[in-house]
Structure 1
């Protein structure tokens, strides 16, 4: 099979994987509430997936180095299938948690898919090949949340889980039939030692700032993702939270089936808007803002990232004061634009300013910072929601991003100065 055909298969595999993951993003809060979870517990329900993924990714990567990429992908897909089936049949909070633990462990196979790309591409093609993984993420996060909203409104967690399991079953068949083994003796390692990479990357001052910014941004954004469904229920679909000793708990009317169906549908529409806008901005606007050949010598990426932090901070600050559900659409639009401006520019800055011999460690550290943010953010947001009220996670997240805007401003100055020194030497 040609490299191009193999890349298409990898794109299909990762896309289906991430559509299945995206389906659950706006729905976990809804079904956590259905089974009696507090906002903090809902945050933990979302965090546990990323925690398991962070732990499992290097283990699966090492196994793929030893036994091959194909068998690890097949076994991990069987795990995802079981996790989604468990979610479909879940009738209690412990079963929801167990389904997310299983799927998080299986979701560590993204690193193995990246290893397949590394196996089948030459070094000069590597960045373009990894773009396939990035494009698959975009597809998954555009289609998944909208599908989850419609499926949840129609058939609850049973429909969501069975549909996601069906996607994994298709994935399993495609991997078995169409993806040949790519691992060759002496080829590149398949696993990313993310924590070791992060420690190495922190020794590079410019890259360390990028990692701090990634951690701030992801933690802030994940606070919104982890609490949004509960916020939607509390603010627009129920009688609101009831203050009890130890924190705020949700009004019993929120467990009503009709209310939960409405929450699924509304969350799905809003997250679909975020996905579509993010894809459009990343696909066209960012490229024009930084310049066709990249803006590393002028600090354009840092300026665009700084703007992304600011736009996202405004969106998060406005979210808890939106007067009606309809006002959430422009507010979520700000969040979509802000994230689309920030994420690709931060990763570009890391790749532009890390020494070539340490680029792998720098990018691994960047991924680790994002993973840590996706673990801490939902749990922190849920705790703030429970202890201080529905507005607390968004105000805290906005404050974090204002701090990030200041750090990004110093990064822009450093990038411009570095570019000027390179220009003088040339």
Structure 2
């Protein structure tokens, strides 16, 4: 298998474009990024990288809460609170290091950042598999938050190699990669977790290391040297990175929508498993299969429906459709007294797959090629901000809605709160549109 050649830095015009296109930035027209010379396997590898990363993360999703519960001798309430702390810690690492890695990729290229993160994630999962106590599991979560910060670089890679008008579809395909990872990940993690709760960590670590080794041979660089920008701590720190999002009204408005959506999404990441265990008494296998169904719909929407829906409705209306579907899905989760309505809510919830790529495509149009890494780092910092508040918020709300001392016995409260946030996002979208048309 051949290694990436030095001429991977050379660029050719987009073969799909019939005439030059330009981005409009605050400083005037910016030339559209050109496609790096090399095989189509470059973009395909990024797709596979995201899918394998999410496969590894999905494998540990059904077993991490239960492993924490085992360390706490079966105390569900304390386990929910500790799970919130773990989630907050993971998000804090994402918040601080996503803009750093994004800016480093703008300076040194996407390839080294993606590969180093793959190897780091693999060794980290093995550390968590070995962890003899909750403290070691805690350390592993810190490292995983750092190493998982490569996802924005993968997004920037796709922005590098995709024409402007096709970015929503490209980001949709990456969302499909997320879904494909979760199709197999949770199901496989649930099955392996029934054998041994640590086994999914070992397998996830091995997959990440294999993925990194594969990338050493197949992944060329996507960012040409003339499009690289000097590294600056002023831009790489979270505050400096987020300042990019305040550059104009479009970026700022979409950033606000994404933040609300990301906070709402924390209810799934931090309450889903423990909620299903508490309310429906599902096994690891059932939880894994339900998460796999989430991944199936996410993959189908991302791979097959994002492109035609965006072409039909446009990016802004596709975002509205996604937020409406997400609010309906979260509400159904909260209302479901049995698992039947819970399962039926999944197709509605996954309509958010239309919102994420549309938002990122709109934002990527507003900046030039030398800042795509910084933009994706800033977007991931929004996820980090959501993660700083979301895990503690939703697990606290859940812990206060169950148990003997709960003011109101309403286990679905976290999902009702998530639905309310998406409704608020719809209101913000209307205000932004009215402001832009006056």
Per the alignment, residue 266 of structure 1 pairs with 286
1:76-121 per-residue CA deviation (whole Å, 9 max, x = no partner) reads 3332122111222223211221112112211122234345445666
Per the alignment, residue 99 of structure 2 pairs with 58
Rate the CA distance shift 1:279–1:114 in 2: closer, same or farther, 3 A.
closer
Cα distance in 2 between the residues matched to 1:231 and 1:310 = 18
Cα distance in 1 between the residues matched to 2:153 and 2:301 = 28
Is 1:278 the counterpart of 2:301? The answer is no
Contact 1:309 1:405 in 2 (8 A): no
Is 1:386 the counterpart of 2:399? The answer is yes
Q: Over aligned residue pairs, what C-alpha RMSD do you find?
A: 3.6
Cα distance in 2 between the residues matched to 1:332 and 1:132 = 19
1:306-359 per-residue CA deviation (whole Å, 9 max, x = no partner) reads 42243134224314xx23x4443123444334x33443444455467x588999
Rate the CA distance shift 1:17–1:410 in 2: closer, same or farther, 3 A.
closer
Rate the CA distance shift 1:267–1:62 in 2: closer, same or farther, 3 A.
same
How does 1:91-240 map onto structure 2 within 5 Å? Answer: 91-117=132-158, 133-157=174-198, 159-181=199-221, 184-189=224-229, 193=236, 195-202=239-246, 204-237=248-281
Per the alignment, residue 9 of structure 2 pairs with none
Aligned residues: 387
Rate the CA distance shift 1:126–1:145 in 2: closer, same or farther, 3 A.
same
Gaps of 5+ in 2: 5-37, 73-77, 404-408
Per the alignment, residue 318 of structure 2 pairs with 301
Cα distance in 1 between the residues matched to 2:297 and 2:168 = 24
What secondary structure sits across from 2:62 in the alignment?
coil
Cα distance in 1 between the residues matched to 2:62 and 2:117 = 24
Cα distance in 2 between the residues matched to 1:327 and 1:124 = 38
1:13-45 per-residue CA deviation (whole Å, 9 max, x = no partner) reads 232122111222233212111111521111222
Gaps of 5+ in 1: 238-261, 422-426
Per the alignment, residue 353 of structure 2 pairs with 340
Deviation at 1:214, TM superposition (A): 1.9
Contact 2:168 2:360 in 1 (8 A): no
Per the alignment, residue 258 of structure 1 pairs with none
How does 1:313-392 map onto structure 2 within 5 Å? Answer: 313-319=330-336, 322-323=337-338, 325-337=339-351, 339-348=352-361, 350=363, 365-389=378-402
Cα distance in 1 between the residues matched to 2:432 and 2:159 = 32
Deviation at 1:362, TM superposition (A): 6.7
Per the alignment, residue 259 of structure 1 pairs with none
Per the alignment, residue 81 of structure 2 pairs with 40
Specify which structure has the higher proportion of helix.
1
Contact 1:25 1:145 in 2 (8 A): yes
Cα distance in 2 between the residues matched to 1:402 and 1:383 = 17
Contact 2:168 2:310 in 1 (8 A): no
Is 1:27 the counterpart of 2:40? The answer is no
> How high is the TM-score relative to the length of structure 1?
0.76
Rate the CA distance shift 1:100–1:288 in 2: closer, same or farther, 3 A.
same
Cα distance in 2 between the residues matched to 1:302 and 1:69 = 28
Cα distance in 2 between the residues matched to 1:5 and 1:33 = 42
What secondary structure sits across from 1:108 in the alignment?
helix
What secondary structure sits across from 1:26 in the alignment?
coil
